Amino acid sequence: MPSRRTDPLTVEVVELIGDVVARYHQEYEQAAASHQLTGAQARVLGLLAVEATPMRRIAQKLKCEPSNITGIVDRLESRGLVERRPDPADRRVKLAAATQEGMQTADRLRESLDFAREPLAALSEEERTALRDLLRRMLG
């Protein structure tokens, strides 16, 4: 009997997940480029459009070095998309926050991502809920 890791169904599911991830990244990079952003800049801007965040926490969320985030935020700030402001809870901490222009850019970027929206629209609400719940279980 084949192990769970090598059974044909598991192999197919892993390949399909890889295909979904590759297509998402390709479209995300294209959408970011259409707004003169790198994929990393677009991801940071998307996070900051939701809430002002300390750069250390951005680095943790994106699983990268804080120095990388500093450079990304510097470039976004020079374009007027992000600003640094003191954290009201701890004035020693600086928060990165999307400006109004940054929020609008993040919205336009999100709207231009058709890859996930189109296939998901073909699924019923029940199917989307089941998919969401399965993905949450997989991620622990």
Q: What is the CATH number of the domain that holds 25?
A: 1.10.10.10
Domain that holds residue 49: 8-139
Tens digit of each residue's pLDDT (9 = 90 or more) over 44-87: 999 999 999 999 999 999 999 989 999 999 999 999 999 999 99
Within-domain flag for 124: yes
Q: What pLDDT sits at residue 5?
A: 60
124 touches 103 (CB < 8 A): no
Residue 91's pLDDT band, with cuts at 50, 70 and 90, is confident
Would the pTM count as exceeding 0.95? no
Q: Chain-wide mean pLDDT for the chain?
A: 90
Question: Measuring CA to CA, how many Å separate 99 from each of 84, 96, 128?
Answer: 10, 10, 33
Other beta carbons within 10 angstroms of residue 44's beta carbon come to: 31
Tally of domains within the chain: 1
Within-domain flag for 1: no
Task: Name the DSSP letter for residue 35.
Answer: T
